Amino acid sequence: MNDDDVAHDGAGPGAARGAAPARGAGPASGAPGDGEPTDGKPTDGHARFLADAKSRGVEVEVAERGRAHSLEEAAANLGIEPRDIVKSLVVKRSDGSFLFALIPGDRQISWPKLRKLVGVNKLSMPPAGVALEATGYERGTITPLGSTTAWPVWADSSISGRISLGAGVHGRSAFVDSGQLFAALGASVADISDPA
């Protein structure tokens, strides 16, 4: 699967075959719950994801899909195509800051295209520990929603319609409308991918 993050806990359209709704399914509640301290700031990745989605007005549907060892396996578990899973990739800039690159599951980052658009000579995929520090999410759960730092988001222009992406926790996937998500995140939409 890769571009460095197994499925990013993506999901797919509507009622995916074999995917049962998870606790917190439907529109994001953002209500305090497990893993959330009294100051109202969620520490649990899934709770952060739901709270941020709610605060931005992004409607999400969460599905249990189980752990997957590849993007293809995640898609099969949900009864969808790999292209319907959007990978949320953490990219490090040479100045030490980061950005999110959202790429369809059947494509990969085009480093030359992304470097040109961002206006830098060097971009890289950070190690898992660095990505965790930058976002608060482990590999396989990464999503821009609920990231501990709101890094800029670049989304590939081939993404459209209802998509899946990480839900902040292993084994769960979130379904969202890509247009609503991109607008809520202030994403820059451009051609940033190549066929895998």
Residue 181 sits at the vertex; the CA angle it makes with 154 and 64, to the nearest 5 degrees, is 110
Residue 15, sorted as left (phi over 0), alpha (psi -120 to 50) or beta, turns out to be: beta
Structure-token pair, residue 29 = 């509640």
Residue 12 sits at the vertex; the CA angle it makes with 9 and 14, to the nearest 5 degrees, is 130
In angstroms, rounded to a whole number, what is the distance separating the alpha carbons of residues 147 and 168? 9
pLDDT of residue 43: 67
Please state whether beta strands 153-156 and 98-104 pair in parallel, antiparallel, or not at all (unpaired): parallel
Structure-token pair, residue 36 = 């959330």
In angstroms, rounded to a whole number, what is the distance separating the alpha carbons of residues 106 and 98? 23
How many other β-carbons are positioned within 10 Å of the β-carbon of residue 83?
A: 17
In angstroms, rounded to a whole number, what is the distance separating the alpha carbons of residues 167 and 163? 12
Average pLDDT for runs of 10 along the chain of length 196: 39 36 38 39 84 97 91 93 96 96 98 97 96 95 96 98 95 96 98 96
Residue 97, sorted as left (phi over 0), alpha (psi -120 to 50) or beta, turns out to be: beta
pLDDT of residue 26: 41
In angstroms, rounded to a whole number, what is the distance separating the alpha carbons of residues 129 and 135? 10
pLDDT of residue 15: 34
pLDDT of residue 42: 59
In a 3-state reduction of DSSP, which class is residue 25? coil
pLDDT of residue 68: 86
Can you give the pTM of this predicted structure?
Answer: 0.81
pLDDT of residue 67: 85
- The amino acid occupying position 131 is A
Structure-token pair, residue 7 = 């499925």
In angstroms, rounded to a whole number, what is the distance separating the alpha carbons of residues 88 and 95? 21
* Residue located via tokens 């209500």: 31
